[in-house]
Amino acid sequence: MKYPPAQNDPQQSNMAHPRSPSGVVVDRQTVDLKRLEKRIGRVHLQQRLGIEADHATQIFGRGRTFFHIENWYSIHAFIRFTLRGLGLYRRGLRNAATIQLNHNDVVIPQLPEAFDGFTLLHLSDLHLDMDECYPAALIERVRQAQYDACVLTGDFRAKTYGDFDAAIAALAKVRSHLGGPVYAILGNHDSIRMVPEIEALGITVLLNEAVVLERGGARLHLAGIDDPHYYQVDNFDKAAAAIPPEETSILLAHSPEAYRLAAHTGFDLMLSGHTHGGQICLPGGIALMTNADCPRRFCRGAWRYHTMQGYTSTGSGSSVVGVRFNCPPEITLHHLRRQPVQ
């Protein structure tokens, strides 16, 4: 397979060029992509790379929503100008750097007894290169959390295209403060070319894949799908293929828009992000927009659809403009339980 060139990616020219067994010089990124192709399949990789190349800076069309404000940079400048004029910009910046630590109890009666009390740290929409203060603020809050495993539900960088060096460097700083195993999925801001570098940090990226967590002889399945919002390369058949229907399973999906398929696939819990809870909200947390094609009740906090429970994080970072109003950023501790705490 011939891979399309990365968009505005200076890394390619700076990489070492190893030789193949035949003596042909091959750039490091091509080697990484070939390994990824063997792992996830030619079609998945080809679709992801092709869409990235075709629609890097697209504002209208593609994806589940017609309008992509994250790529309309003149609007970003207008929002900043307006907030400065109203005297609200600095307050919004402070709000965006004040991350809350929230707790969410998830009662799953069939949860294996060995996993009763198992806690997942959930980080989403980090956008770590949006502001140099974000990594330090996130690290400070993460240090206060106690958990068994960590999950990251996508959007590591601010832009949807181009260089990702700064985001990876910031993620490396955060990763050094995360304990236990760490699992991640990609969001609509992330390139699949980031996967080798993310995994080099000791983070397992789930690309329509699943892993088994074991504890005391019991099993818990953790699956992750590729971005269902913009790239729409999520594949539930692949992600859930090895999960027995009678065993407890958790899904990581960047956007809550996948809630119907997730519930009818049989997942017990779905963890998402993407919406930022609106990020800029009216008093009472009423979002001006959520950038998601699903009912608003799925766009922030805990929810339920049929027998599946879900949680949509407001995100740890911010995008478009690095401000927040009436919608604090968060990290979340999900406590898995067999029955409610008395």
Q: Is residue 182 part of a domain?
A: yes
**For the domain that residue 128 is a member of, what is the CATH number?**
3.60.21.10
Count of domains in the chain? 1
Tokens at 67, concatenated: 């309008």
Tokens of 261: 């398929």
Please name which of 181, 167, 105, 97 lies closest in space to residue 139, comparing C-alpha atoms.
Answer: 97
Please give the structure tokens belonging to residue 297.
Answer: 């009740």
∠ CA(297), CA(302), CA(308), 5° rounding? 90
Answer whether residue 315 is part of any domain.
Answer: yes
Residue 331 in any domain: the answer is yes
Map residue 199 onto helix, strand or coil. Answer: helix
Residue 69 lies in a domain: no
Residues 6+ apart with CB under 8 A from 54: none
Give the pLDDT band of residue 342 (cuts 50, 70, 90): confident
Asked if the model's pLDDT at residue 103 lies above 50, the reply is yes
pLDDT for position 71:
57
In a domain, 222, yes or no: yes
pLDDT band at 78 (very low <50, low <70, confident <90, very high): confident
pLDDT band at residue 19, thresholds of 50, 70 and 90? low
| Distance of alpha carbon 133 from alpha carbon 254, whole angstroms | 24
Q: Per-residue pLDDT averaged across 272-301, rounded? A: 95
23 has pLDDT over 70: no
Q: Is the per-residue pLDDT at 25 higher than 90?
A: no
Beta strand 119-123 with 149-152: parallel, antiparallel or unpaired?
Answer: parallel
User: Tokens 């495993």 belong to which residue?
Assistant: 149
The tokens for 41 are 């399949």
Q: What is the pLDDT of residue 29?
A: 86
What pLDDT was estimated at residue 70?
60
Inside any domain, residue 64: no
Mean pLDDT of 268-276: 98
Q: What is the pLDDT of residue 59?
A: 47
123 in any annotated domain: yes
User: Burial, 131: exposed, middle or buried (Cβ in 10 Å; 0-12, 13-18, 19+)?
Assistant: middle
- 46 confidence band (pLDDT: 50, 70, 90): very high
Question: DSSP 3-state assignment of 161?
Answer: coil
**Residue 117 CB-half CA count within 13 A:** 5
Q: Which domain holds residue 193?
A: 75-337
**Residues 162-206 pLDDT 10s:** 899 999 999 999 999 999 999 999 999 999 999 999 999 999 999
Q: Is the per-residue pLDDT at 325 higher than 90?
A: yes
Pairing of strands 330-337, 281-282: unpaired
Give strand ranges (E) for the chain.
100-107, 119-123, 149-152, 182-184, 204-205, 209-215, 218-224, 249-252, 269-272, 281-282, 286-287, 301-305, 308-312, 330-337
Q: What is the C-alpha to C-alpha distance for residues 163 and 186, in angstroms, rounded to an integer?
A: 16
Alpha helices per DSSP H over 127-186: 134-142, 165-175
Q: Which of 52-61, 192-201, 297-306 has the lowest mean pLDDT?
A: 52-61
- Asked, for residue 330, whether it belongs to a domain, the answer is yes
Determine the average pLDDT of the residues in 38-46: 96
Report how far residue 133's alpha carbon sits from residue 301's, in angstroms, rounded to the nearest whole number. Answer: 25
User: How confident is the model over 244-263, as pLDDT tens digits?
Assistant: 999 999 999 999 999 999 99
